[in-house]
Amino acid sequence: MTVVPGQKGTAGLEEVPDPATRDGALLVRGIAVGVCGTDCEIAEGAYGTPPPGEARLVIGHESLGEVLEAPPGSGFAPGDLVVGIVRRPDPMPCPACAAGEWDMCRTDGFGERGIARLHGYGSQRWRVEPDFAVPILPRLGELGILLEPASVLAKAWDQVDQISRRAFFQRGRALVTGAGPIGLMACLLGAQRGYEMHVVDLARAGPKRDLVEDLGARYHSGDAADVDVDVDVVIECTGLGVVGRSAGRKLASGGIMCLTGIMNLGPDPRRGRHHHEPQHGAAQPGPVRHRECRPAPLGTGGRSARGGRPRLAGRSDHTPGAARFLDRRAGPPTGRHQSHGGHQRMTAHEVKVWSITPGLLSEGPRWHEERQELLWVDILGRQMHRGTLGPDGALERVETISVDRHIGAVAPAAGGGYVLAAGPGFLFVDDAGSVRELAQPEDGRTDVRMNDGACDPQGRFWAGTMAYDESPGAGALFRLELDGSCTTVLTGLTISNGIGWSPDASTMYLNDSGTGCVEAFRFDGPSGAISDRRTLVHVDQPGVVPDGLTIDEEGGIWVALWNGGAVHRYAPDGSLLASVQLPVQRPTSCAFGGPGRDTLFVTSARTDLDDDALARQPHAGKVFAINGLGARGLPCMPYRGRTPRSSGR
C-alpha cells in the first residue's frame, strides 16, 4: 500500500521491488497490517514524509509477520512471529535519543516506518533489523497485530505509574473515555493493574457495552461529566478536547490524567504521528498540563523491543471478546510482491450460543430441509444429534443417538434415517436408532477413523479418513456409491476434512487440515470423477488450519478455522472476502440452515483445552447460530443410495 504524502487520492496498491538486505537482516513475510486513523490521515494528504529521494511512501505501521530468513545469532529463526518497531532514533541523536528514550526525541530527525522517512510494513515482504523486531508468542496468532496499538496504552499506563510514585497514591477507580479499540485496550491494561474500570462512550446501542463488560468493567453511555463516580485515573482515548475537559472534572483530589490523543493540542502534524499516542502529565482539578512530545509507537528504545512489551496474553488475561478489538484485518496476499489488500470484516451479524450441552468435538452440521432440523455429531462422544428450532430460531428439542465408534459426519438418507461416516466406514441409522453397517473401506484398521463428509448433488456420500496420530499421508477420501459399494477416490491425505460443491456442481472443494490447504477439483457429476487438482487457499497462520466448510448460493466458500476463532468466506478464486469472529478458539465446521437457509450454524470443540482456556471460552464445544450475514446456503443433499430400509424397494 503506497501513497504520495501530502497529495489526497494517491493511495493505492503498487508493485515494489523486493526489500534490500540493507533494510534489515530479518526477511519477514507480512501476515497482517493494521489500518488506523494515522494511515487514513496520511492517505488524505494531511501529513507523512517519503524516504529521501522517493516520491511514494509504503504505509502501514501496525504489523504482524513471519520470519523467512534470519542470520545466526540474531535471536530469531524462520517461522517466528514478529512485530516491527515503528520509530527509529535521530541519526544525529539528541540527548533523549542518545539515552535510548526515543519517545522523548527533542528534534525532527527521527524516522517512523510507514509515517515519516521510512517505508512501512504494508507489503507482502519487508525487512527489519533484529533489534527493532519484537517476538510474538505463537499462541497469540492474529492478536499479535494488536501489539503496536497496545504499546501506546502500555506507555500511557507506564506514565501513570511513574507519576503515581511521586507521592502517596492508592489505586482505585479509573475512567477511560471512548470504547473504540484504543479505549478497550486501555481498559484491559487497567483491569490487569487491579483498577476498578469504568468506560464512557456516546454509544447507547451496539456491541460496545458488551465488549466493556466482557473486560469486567462498567459501561457508561453519554457525557463524561455525567459519570456517577469520581476516579483516581483518567485515560483519554477519544482525541477530543471537549471530552477530555469533561472527564477531568471526574478526577478525585490527587488524581492523574493521561491524554492519548488530544489532536488539537499536539504539535505540527506534518512532523510525524501525532494522535492516539500518550501525552502525559499529572492533573488536579483545573488545567491539564502536558509535555510537547510525541511518544513513539512501539519503541521506547531497546526497553520496549525485548523486555518491555505490553502484556497481551497470559494465563488469565484474555477474555473471548479480546479478538473483537480487531475492526479490520488484512487478508492473505496473492500474486507478486505487492501491498496488502483488505477484506471487509462482517459487522452487521449476530452470534448466539445455540446449543445447551457442549460436546468434546462437535462437528459436521447439516440442515435437514425436509424435517427442518439441524444434524451434527460429537466425534469423540460417539453421538449424533438432531436439533429442532422453535419459532424464534432457538433450539427447541434435541434427540441424541449413540453408536459404538467415533462419528465423523452425518447425512440424511432420502428414504428415511441417516448415513454416518464412523470408525472404519459407513453406517446406517434408522429413525428408531437401530444401527447397521454399510461399506467398511478401512475394515480391520484401528489406526485410522472416518472424519468429515457430505453428499454430492447426485446423492453419493463422500467422506475422508485420518490417522489418530495425524500421520502425514495416512488419510484417504472415499465415495459411498448409490448401489452401496465404496470407491477410493484419493489417497495421501493427512486430515481429510470439509467437503462441498459449487452451485453449478462443476467444482468440488476439499480441506486437508494436515497441510492447511483448501483444494479445488474439476467435478464430473455423472461419473463422480475429479481432476485438475489445485490449491485454492493455504492457511499459513501458525497453528491455524482449515476445518469444515460449506458453500453459499453465490459460490462463497465458508471455512471454519480450527485454532483461528473465526469462519472465513473465500471467493471461488481463493481471495478472502470476509471474516466472522467467534467467542471460541476452535470452530470446527459450519452449515447454513433455518427456514430461509440464512442462519450459519457453527460447531466447535473443547477437547485438549486446559482449565484456563475453558474459563475464557465457557461455550467451547457448543453450536453457534449466526444471523445477519446476508448469505443463503445451498440445500443439504441427502444420500440417495441403497440403505437397509430402501434396498427392497
Catalytic residues: 547
DSSP 19-57: PPGGG-SEEEEEEEEE--HHHHHHHTTS--BPPTT-S-E
**Distance between CA atoms of residues 539 and 546, nearest Å:** 7
Cell 486501555 identifies what position?
Answer: 186
Total residue count of the chain as it appears in this document: 649
Q: Are 273 and 99 in contact (CB under 8 A)?
A: no
Nearest Cα neighbor of 374 from 385, 361, 383 is 385
524 vs 241: CA distance, rounded Å: 65
Residue at 150: amino acid letter: A
Q: Which residues pair with 627 in a beta bridge?
A: 350
Q: Per DSSP, what are the bridge partners of residue 535?
A: 519
**For residue 475, what are the CA distances in angstroms to 5, 53, 485?**
53, 56, 19
Burial 466-477 (b: 16+ CB within 10 A, else e): bbeeeeeebbbb
**Identity (one letter) of the amino acid at 536?**
L
CB-based contact 384:400 (threshold 8 Å): yes
Helix or strand run (H / E) with residue 62: strand 62-69
Cα separation of 624 and 617, whole Å?
Answer: 13
Cα 485–chain centre separation: 42
Q: Are 403 and 422 spatial neighbours (Cβ–Cβ below 8 Å)?
A: yes
- Residues 345, 350, 353, 355: is their CA dihedral positive or negative? negative
Rounded Cα–Cα distance for residues 150 and 374 (Å):
41
Closest to 2 measured CA to CA, from 68, 51, 37: 51
Distances (CA, A) of 411 to 153, 379, 415, 530, 636: 50, 14, 12, 21, 8
Our measurement of the distance from residue 109's CA atom to the centroid of its chain's CA atoms, rounded to an integer in Å, reads: 37
Cβ-based burial of 317 (10 A; exposed 0-12, middle 13-18, buried ≥19): middle
**Cα–chain-centroid distance for residue 3?**
27
Q: Where are the beta strands (DSSP E) in 475-623?
A: 475-480, 486-493, 496-501, 507-512, 517-523, 530-538, 545-551, 557-562, 566-570, 576-581, 587-593, 599-604
Alpha-carbon distance 237 to 162, whole Å?
19
Cell readout for 22 is: 540493507
Q: Quote the cell numbers at residue 352.
A: 448466539
Q: How far apart are CA 176 and CA 338, in angstroms?
A: 38
Q: Exposed, middle or buried: residue 376 (CB in 10 Å: 0-12, 13-18, 19+)?
A: buried
CA separation, residue 249 to residues 84, 233, 240, 289 (Å): 38, 11, 15, 14
